[in-house]
Amino acid sequence: MNLKAVFSSALMSILEEKTMTVDEVEKLIESPKYENHGDLAFPCFILAKQLRKTPQQIAIELAEKLNDSLVEKAEAVGPYMNVFFNKKEVSKHLLQKICHEQDNYGARLASNRGKVVIDFSSPNIAKPFSMGHLRSTVIGHSLAKIAEKNGYTAIKINHLGDWGTQFGKLITAYKHWGNELEVKENTIPTLLKLYIQFHAEAENNPSLEEEGRTWFQRLEGGDTEALSLWNWFKNESLKEFEKVYKMLGVSFDAVQGESFYNGAPMEEIVKELEDRLLLKESDGARVVKMGEELPPCLIQKTDGTTLYATRDLAAAIYRKNQYNFVKCLYVVGGEQQLHFQQVFHVLSKMGHDWEKDLVHVPFGLILKDGKKMSTRKGKIVLLEEVLDGAIKKAKENIMKKNPNLQGVDEVAREVGVGAVIFHDLKNERMGNVEFNLDQMLTFEGETGPYVQYTIARGNTILEKEASSFGEISGLGDEVSWQIMKLLEQFPREVVRAYETYEPSVIAKYTVRLAQAFNSYYGKVRILSDDSEQESRLALTYAVTTVLKEGLRLLGIQSPEKM
């Protein structure tokens, strides 16, 4: 059931042979400017030359000929041929389809489109999980669900920042000023403090920098003491990150951090670049030149250690060999644009034609009072606190509305966490997000709780009636037609969200559908015993099912009741 497709195939059957292809026809179909002009319109200009008639004439002729059981009437308005669908017939078919397919509705047919690797979240160990990492986590997680709905297999990878010169510095700081117990009890703030202290002291004592470099060299060389300290920092950090992932309901198929590529993969990359004569000396370091547009990509430092970009090169090649992906997405903030341009460019110079399948999916910042939320210099906002705060506030709001709700703590968790996720995903990802807990948690406006609340309302209605639908005869009224038109769009929104890597497409859609349903609920008595009750219940079921599915694609749960 796709109204555009219905219209175009009806048109195809009356157009003279070879005038236009179905795709061409479908591309031209638009929504009329005024709703009372019809549901869809076909502009006839393009046929004028071929048919040697005026567009107006063509519109009249087509309107006379058009004949389809789902079309109520066709009308020529100037050069346009407009159609009105038979609301009752269309809604009957659509509701039957959704009630039958349930949460599978909107899934793209022909599954098995191949693997999509999604590199997301990827926080840095020994540092707090930043707001940027939160954005990457929720966007990447949602894109994985959206990819699956589109028939791909998503491979979710956490490319942990667990390697690099900073760990040489951290080990140095720990050896000088660290305390085992403190790290154990309060891992991330303590490690962060040590790291900050290192930079402060190094300003007056340059030998610390040298020491840091040596420790990182030892780490890359496999030195036991360096490795065991590093391992310890890493495991403690991971425990903290796990708490956040658990709260958000996020999981990974592989945690392959930067350290995963140390040793052989890194040596191979350097060797391959050497063999292809791509490595050039530059002040003792080794780089790949990028041509005019981009600065050279640093591959190996003077002391032989490797860099972030080197590890990304090794990671891309590993992933291609391991998964043979059709796409590999990097959900990483916009400030790393240059880095990814360089990495992709080096891969193409190496002759990897699959480089075209690598996509940097950037996003904007999270702002607090108009300024970037920073993790540096004590201004840390710990994500766990943000989520806890949201859950607490959600609970207060729910208790006000429904003081006797059972299982309120679980509901508050779903609503609080859902609110934070929804707030992030409702805007196009390149936009900045203003962080405001109160705003996220209201039950009105474009919020997660608003959509969740609409689902709960639908559930309450359905609960009163057995939800096996007898005779769905369809609905002919204007109010329910608005909902049908939205329900009918869902499958295409699923495709669009994937093709643009935009979870916001789904988030915005759920708000539109929730609003339409709430206005329906205000105008129509769903439960009144007449011949259309079954259809109204089916509509209610279809809306809650699609809303739930929409939220699921965003990584948000929907409580049965709230």
| 315 vs 537 by CB, closer to ligand ARG | 315
Paired residues of 282 in beta bridges: 285
Q: How far is the CB of 306 from ligand ARG (least distance, A)?
A: 14
Answer for which of 82, 86, 91, 124 binds ligand ARG (CB under 6 A) is 124
Alpha helix positions (H), 335-477: 337-349, 383-401, 408-425, 437-440, 448-464
| 123 vs 474 by CB, closer to ligand ARG | 123
Answer for which of 40, 248, 313, 332 binds ligand ARG (CB under 6 A) is 332
Answer for which of 82, 86, 91, 122 binds ligand ARG (CB under 6 A) is 122
3-state secondary structure of 48: helix
Residue with tokens 């790290």: 183
- How far is 459 from 544, CA to CA, in rounded Å? 7
Q: How far is the CB of 330 from ligand ARG (least distance, A)?
A: 5
Paired residues of 42 in beta bridges: 81
Within residues 199-228, the interface with ligand ARG by CB under 6 A covers none
Residues 6+ apart with CB under 8 A from 36: none
Answer for which of 167, 215, 260, 330 binds ligand ARG (CB under 6 A) is 330
Residues 6+ apart with CB under 8 A from 195: 126, 127, 166, 169, 170, 173
Q: How far is the CB of 147 from ligand ARG (least distance, A)?
A: 17
Q: Nearest residue by C-beta to ligand ARG?
A: 161
118 touching ligand ARG, by CB under 6 A? no
Contact 351, 210 (CB under 8 A): no
Q: Binding pattern to ligand ARG, positions 345-364, x when CB under 6 A? A: --------------------
| 245 vs 521 by CB, closer to ligand ARG | 245
Q: How far is the CB of 332 from ligand ARG (least distance, A)?
A: 4
Give CA 361 to chain center in angstroms.
10
- How far is 63 from 65, CA to CA, in rounded Å? 6
| 309 vs 475 by CB, closer to ligand ARG | 309
CA distance readout (Å), 387 to 246, 363, 393, 524: 11, 21, 10, 38
- How far is 299 from 305, CA to CA, in rounded Å? 9
Question: At 418, which amino acid appears?
Answer: G
Within residues 180-199, the interface with ligand ARG by CB under 6 A covers none
320 touching ligand ARG, by CB under 6 A? no
Q: How far is the CB of 139 from ligand ARG (least distance, A)?
A: 12
Within residues 139-178, the interface with ligand ARG by CB under 6 A covers 159, 161
Q: Binding pattern to ligand ARG, positions 236-255, x when CB under 6 A? A: --------------------
How many binding residues for ligand ARG (CB under 6 A)? 9
| 130 vs 459 by CB, closer to ligand ARG | 130
Instruction: Please state whether beta strands 80-85 and 71-77 pair in parallel, antiparallel, or not at all (unpaired).
Output: antiparallel
| 1 vs 433 by CB, closer to ligand ARG | 433
Q: How far is the CB of 126 from ligand ARG (least distance, A)?
A: 12
Q: How far is the CB of 112 from ligand ARG (least distance, A)?
A: 26
Interacting span for ligand ARG (CB under 6 A) from 11-19, 119-127, 214-222, 389-397: 119-127
Q: Where is 22: in which H helix or E strand?
A: helix 22-28
Q: How far is the CB of 60 from ligand ARG (least distance, A)?
A: 59
Q: Cα dihedral angle (502, 146, 547, 83), rounded to 10 degrees?
A: 70
Interacting span for ligand ARG (CB under 6 A) from 10-18, 42-50, 117-125, 388-396: 117-125
- How far is 434 from 541, CA to CA, in rounded Å? 34
Residues 6+ apart with CB under 8 A from 18: none
Q: How far is the CB of 122 from ligand ARG (least distance, A)?
A: 4
Q: How far is the CB of 127 from ligand ARG (least distance, A)?
A: 8
3-state secondary structure of 527: coil
119 touching ligand ARG, by CB under 6 A? yes
The token pair at 191 is: 């490690």
Q: How far is the CB of 350 from ligand ARG (least distance, A)?
A: 17
Contact 462, 551 (CB under 8 A): no
CA distance readout (Å), 458 to 133, 359, 537: 35, 39, 9
Point out which residues bind ligand ARG (CB under 6 A): 119, 122, 124, 159, 161, 312, 315, 330, 332
